[in-house]
């Protein structure tokens, strides 16, 4: 079973050299730590920055320089700043190659719910609806089951949707799964020490298992 950093590590393997990537808040943010050395990957922060650098050193924080999670960050040589309309313009025009974000639920046809729980205080969707509606490739980083032990990989989402038919791949503490165009979660890899049976147990939506399922290499 993977911890949060393990999930981030596995997702980092999906990132291609020479690509532009938008990382959501939470586990996706950790992915930045595991991008292979030597890879030229440019991180887009939807509040208006391409080329997000690491957090600043103590004392070097700049209140005018934050990421979409409102954290203090730095720029890199070659960074560019732009306004919010251009930021979402480039997202909408599919110039960003990969979006990695968290989810509360994903359905077997690729729908995603990650912004609202009826009856609870709703903070808002931020840029998530724009990102999922436009990204060429979307990977979801999440726990396989919620705190109540219920599967988050469902036939249909029960929560209000963020986007429809958009998720391409899911990485959880148990497995890597791809969402098939015709519907269904195709089991691609097991987390170290996790059995196919455990993944079956934790997946409520249609799970497709073909042949031997390899263990992840992380």
Partner 1 sequence: MIDKTVKNAEAAVADVQDGMTIMFGGFGLCGIPENCINALVKKGVKNLTCISNNAGVDDFGIGLMLHQRQVKKMISSYVGENAEFERQLLSGELEVELIPQGTLATRCLAAGYGMPAIFTPAGVGTEVAEGKEIRNFNGKDYLMEMAFDADFAIVKAWKGDTAGNLVFRSTSRNFNPIMAMAGKITIAEVEELVEPGVLNPDHIHTPGIYVHRIFQGERYEKRIEQRTVRTQ
C-beta closer to partner 1: residue 89 or 193: 89
Dig out the tokens for 128 from the structure. 């998530």
Shortest CB 61 distance to partner 1, Å: 6
SS3 (DSSP) at 208: strand
C-beta closer to partner 1: residue 120 or 217: 120
Catalytic residue list: 46
Shortest CB 152 distance to partner 1, Å: 18
Shortest CB 201 distance to partner 1, Å: 30
Q: Output b/e per residue, 192-208; b: 16+ Cβ within 10 A.
A: eebeeebbeebbbbbbe
Q: How far apart are CA 48 and CA 46, in angstroms?
A: 5
* DSSP secondary structure letter of residue 207: E
Shortest CB 17 distance to partner 1, Å: 9
Q: How far apart are CA 2 and CA 42, in angstroms?
A: 26
With CA atoms as reference, report the closest residue to 110 among 175, 167, 171.
Answer: 167
Q: How far apart are CA 80 and CA 211, in angstroms?
A: 46
C-beta closer to partner 1: residue 105 or 111: 111
* DSSP secondary structure letter of residue 40: -
C-beta closer to partner 1: residue 152 or 190: 152
Distance from the Cα of residue 15 to its chain's centroid: 11
Shortest CB 82 distance to partner 1, Å: 6
C-beta closer to partner 1: residue 118 or 211: 118
- CA dist 89 → 101, 119, 162, 166 (Å): 19, 33, 19, 18
């Amino acid at each position: 079973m993977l911890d949060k950093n393990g999930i981030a590590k596995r997702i980092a393997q999906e990132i291609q050299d020479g690509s532009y990537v938008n990382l959501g808040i939470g586990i996706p943010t950790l992915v930045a730590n595991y991008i292979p050395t030597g890879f030229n990957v440019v991180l887009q922060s939807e509040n208006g920055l391409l080329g997000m650098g690491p957090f600043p050193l103590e004392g070097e924080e700049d209140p005018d320089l934050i990421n979409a999670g409102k954290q203090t960050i730095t720029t890199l040589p070659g960074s560019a700043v732009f306004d919010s309309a251009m930021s979402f313009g480039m997202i909408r025009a599919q110039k960003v190659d990969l979006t990695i974000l968290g989810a509360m639920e994903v359905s077997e046809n690729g729908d995603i719910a990650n912004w609202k729980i009826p009856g609870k205080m709703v903070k808002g969707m931020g840029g998530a609806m724009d990102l999922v509606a436009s990204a060429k490739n979307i990977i979801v980083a999440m726990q396989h089951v919620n705190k109540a032990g219920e599967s988050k990989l469902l036939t249909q989402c029960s929560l209000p949707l963020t986007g429809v038919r958009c998720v391409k791949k899911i990485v959880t503490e148990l497995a890597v799964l791809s969402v098939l165009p015709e519907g269904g979660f195709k089991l691609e890899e097991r987390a170290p020490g996790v059995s196919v049976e455990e993944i079956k147990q934790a997946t409520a939506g249609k799970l497709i298992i073909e042949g031997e399922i390899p263990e992840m290499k992380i």
